[in-house]
Structure 1
């Protein structure tokens, strides 16, 4: 059995610890969430600032590979009511804080944020700014679909301080685009990229996915050659998460027989990694690549890379506010998720209720394990002190690492664990060794996508 066959099990992506399926909702309520927000805000607003994630869930078409929370519609009359509710929800948070928030980071995710008109996006962001101050080097970014991201979108957001843009490319092969219902010509991506640079965007990211149905080594190589010609500053090269038991009919347009598996799938990543390295990109954390001038590269070099529900970021903030249907918030001491359906989320917001539907208060053990898992995900190493190894969960995690060490994936020292070059493709498995909640309650059904 190869290492990929051995370790290609279901594993979390560790944008949080504990992971969402293991949140203990029995100890959570909205009052405790608000208290944790106030505690975190008071401790970190001056030094770190806050991050804001705004979920804009609308899309005009269904991309069948997508695992995001989205709502498919061609009715743009939904924009203003949703935007008004976002600002009303933001007001609930503002009322909790004694001082004006200092914004370190904003990310517009989806769905498709560029579903919204430039005029409505301007009203939305201006409404956020009305009650907060931007830190001078704040990182403001948005996700865009190349087919509907216009120069007006980019110019409007640039005028409001946005300098980062992420375009969902996924794959340029026509057969793959057809089966995932994501058809966008190379020329469209080229036009949007060139316009963004002319406007003044300094960091353009492309999202690519490997392991999609009908992908081959030749098709991925062709896609990456085209990507290299366009020269984005960052590249996110994600493993396709095949979770039809969660996403229903969308991911059932094709079957498992259409998907590259195990060594074949991993070979697609290694091909991309090699091609990126040959063209000046450095691998950052898990699934990310950046050029030396990009802030994500610099943060990785300086040891300040951070990971949260938005993925990898180049700034650490303890407090992340999630606005919009299904958004997740993180006060560092607690997590929460909003109502998933738009109607229910709007109903509660318009009653001036925090629209949280579930959450988790982190225990002392959770906070310790979170620190180590975060360090492994960001820096491929973690260190501990004498007090840490008095925690049973740490001791048990180190015991689980013994087999991974025999396989050459990690090196365990008296006060340190570091991931070997051979072990980097297995980082999710390595972090899973410290996932005490998962080991104490093994899932009865599949919760996560495959690790490789």
Structure 2
């Protein structure tokens, strides 16, 4: 690592949120939320925005046949595929409950299948699910449908059925091609399998293929990462998410298969991140926001160039809708004015939906101050700049500016009377910059570690 960057990485490698929302989930206030207030918020947001920009829909499909020990997602491990149809029926019932709240036809602009392993489900059952969602909706002319897939179980039928339903973007979980790393994280896919799925998808007509890669995994080293990157460069995905492994065994017991001794130390992890980043740039990828890279021909690059990049619970997207509806166990929804999360266990989810109840169990109603801070954090994450009106920010601006001063001294931001611009160096520390605006965290600093490290 370049010496100055190493010093900055050492200084700013602290636990910090990833800011897919503000306030972050540990700071949601239960006193601002109940099921009725959530329904009212959804109805208001739908009425305000559906006809203008449409809505986003995220569907969580939690099943996996085996546990990837690095995984931080909500999953249910089973080889019993008899779980597919009852779960789909419940998701469609939940969707029907939202249709009653909308009191109008939703215009779907963004639809994403996440997991778990969406390709755990048979192509026929995925058709049943998506057809059930779309039959009472309109599809926006600029809609983007995407899904996550495991290279080892994604078939040509999966690709064709979803393509026929409107899907054009595919995200493959790779993580690392090193056999030692794959063994300890229990995530196995060969280069041949990845190449086959990629080639088939392109042949069918998919226009954007993403690979997920992780740095900081157990037993990962520089030689193995460089080899993985060289293989990926040969396969030439349109987008790459290259992000940090979050070690949280107190939340995800599967991570106890290995210990901190098996992980790269902070200096080694920083070298992995920097080496991967430099390689991706050398292959012609452009850095997008935080942890994302895209070829210049990909729509994600165009979205950042044109100032249209958006970030929500699904990550970075070129689609910006006010209302995001999360369906399925543990899914998170966003009406812009409030957040809500579904219950986290499969049994609770099925019980509540089959009783005709929205399965939300916690959330947060955003205050006026929350909405202001949220805008600034989104602008920093997506545009690397933000502007403020001193009068509107009077309640929080002095504290924010004070917290930003050391970052300006370290060359991470340029400050003016009315805003900030992130520097080239600062683009690698977006989470730390956003942290300066996080009024709720600074008012109640956590006594224990709640968030992953910045690097």
**Shift in Å at residue 271 of structure 1?**
1.3
Task: Provide the C-alpha distance between the structure 1 equivalents of 2:311 and 2:194, rounded to a whole number of angstroms.
Answer: 28
Report the counterpart of residue 403 of structure 1 in structure 2.
Answer: 406
Q: How does 1:59-78 map to 2 (within 5 A)?
A: 59-78=64-83
Question: Is 1:193 aligned with 2:198?
Answer: yes
Report the counterpart of residue 376 of structure 2 in structure 1.
Answer: 372
Task: Provide the C-alpha distance between the structure 1 equivalents of 2:277 and 2:323, rounded to a whole number of angstroms.
Answer: 33
Task: Provide the C-alpha distance between the structure 1 equivalents of 2:417 and 2:377, rounded to a whole number of angstroms.
Answer: 18
Task: Provide the C-alpha distance between the structure 2 equivalents of 1:244 and 1:393, rounded to a whole number of angstroms.
Answer: 35
Report the counterpart of residue 421 of structure 1 in structure 2.
Answer: 424
**Alignment match of 1:213 (pick from 194, 214, 218):** 218
Task: Provide the C-alpha distance between the structure 2 equivalents of 1:101 and 1:83, rounded to a whole number of angstroms.
Answer: 20
Provide the secondary structure at the position in 1 that maps to 2:53: coil
**Alignment match of 1:330 (pick from 330, 334, 351):** 334
Question: Is 1:122 aligned with 2:127?
Answer: yes
**Alignment match of 2:209 (pick from 198, 204, 209):** 204
Task: Provide the C-alpha distance between the structure 1 equivalents of 2:276 and 2:447, rounded to a whole number of angstroms.
Answer: 35
Task: Provide the C-alpha distance between the structure 2 equivalents of 1:277 and 1:425, rounded to a whole number of angstroms.
Answer: 14
**Alignment match of 2:450 (pick from 428, 440, 447):** 447
Provide the secondary structure at the position in 2 that maps to 1:96: helix
**Shift in Å at residue 251 of structure 1?**
0.6
- Give the conservation status (yes or no) of the 8 Å contact 1:327–1:337: yes
**Alignment match of 2:304 (pick from 290, 300, 317):** 300
1:290-338 per-residue CA deviation (whole Å, 9 max, x = no partner) reads 0111111110000010000000010111100000000000000000000
**Shift in Å at residue 264 of structure 1?**
1.9
Aligned length: 450
Report the counterpart of residue 3 of structure 2 in structure 1.
Answer: none
Question: Is 1:354 aligned with 2:358?
Answer: yes
Residue ranges of structure 1 left out of the alignment (5+ in a row)? none
**Shift in Å at residue 246 of structure 1?**
0.7
Report the TM-score when normalising by structure 1: 0.98
Task: Provide the C-alpha distance between the structure 1 equivalents of 2:401 and 2:390, rounded to a whole number of angstroms.
Answer: 14
Report the counterpart of residue 169 of structure 2 in structure 1.
Answer: 164
**Shift in Å at residue 386 of structure 1?**
3.2
Q: Mean Cα displacement is larger for which, 415-424 or 329-338?
A: 415-424
**Shift in Å at residue 2 of structure 1?**
2.4
Task: Provide the C-alpha distance between the structure 1 equivalents of 2:93 and 2:398, rounded to a whole number of angstroms.
Answer: 46
**Shift in Å at residue 394 of structure 1?**
2.6
**Shift in Å at residue 143 of structure 1?**
0.2
Q: Mean Cα displacement is larger for which, 212-221 or 265-274?
A: 265-274
Task: Provide the C-alpha distance between the structure 2 equivalents of 1:408 and 1:255, rounded to a whole number of angstroms.
Answer: 35
Report the counterpart of residue 388 of structure 1 in structure 2.
Answer: 392
- Give the conservation status (yes or no) of the 8 Å contact 1:4–1:262: no
Q: Mean Cα displacement is larger for which, 369-378 or 405-414?
A: 405-414
- Give the conservation status (yes or no) of the 8 Å contact 2:181–2:218: yes
**Alignment match of 2:270 (pick from 249, 266, 272):** 266
Task: Provide the C-alpha distance between the structure 2 equivalents of 1:6 and 1:277, rounded to a whole number of angstroms.
Answer: 25
Report the counterpart of residue 132 of structure 1 in structure 2.
Answer: 137
Task: Provide the C-alpha distance between the structure 2 equivalents of 1:234 and 1:149, rounded to a whole number of angstroms.
Answer: 19
**Shift in Å at residue 421 of structure 1?**
1.3
Q: Mean Cα displacement is larger for which, 1-10 or 21-30?
A: 1-10
Task: Provide the C-alpha distance between the structure 2 equivalents of 1:366 and 1:106, rounded to a whole number of angstroms.
Answer: 27
**Shift in Å at residue 387 of structure 1?**
2.7
1:225-250 per-residue CA deviation (whole Å, 9 max, x = no partner) reads 000000000000011011111112x1
Residue ranges of structure 2 left out of the alignment (5+ in a row)? 1-5
**Shift in Å at residue 262 of structure 1?**
2.3
Task: Provide the C-alpha distance between the structure 1 equivalents of 2:54 and 2:397, rounded to a whole number of angstroms.
Answer: 31
**Alignment match of 2:234 (pick from 229, 234, 238):** 229
- Give the conservation status (yes or no) of the 8 Å contact 1:320–1:329: yes
Report the TM-score when normalising by structure 2: 0.98
Task: Provide the C-alpha distance between the structure 1 equivalents of 2:158 and 2:98, rounded to a whole number of angstroms.
Answer: 27
Report the counterpart of residue 279 of structure 1 in structure 2.
Answer: 283
4+ runs deviating over 3 angstroms: none
Report the counterpart of residue 251 of structure 1 in structure 2.
Answer: 255
Task: Provide the C-alpha distance between the structure 1 equivalents of 2:16 and 2:172, rounded to a whole number of angstroms.
Answer: 26
- Give the conservation status (yes or no) of the 8 Å contact 1:369–1:394: no
Task: Provide the C-alpha distance between the structure 2 equivalents of 1:389 and 1:340, rounded to a whole number of angstroms.
Answer: 36
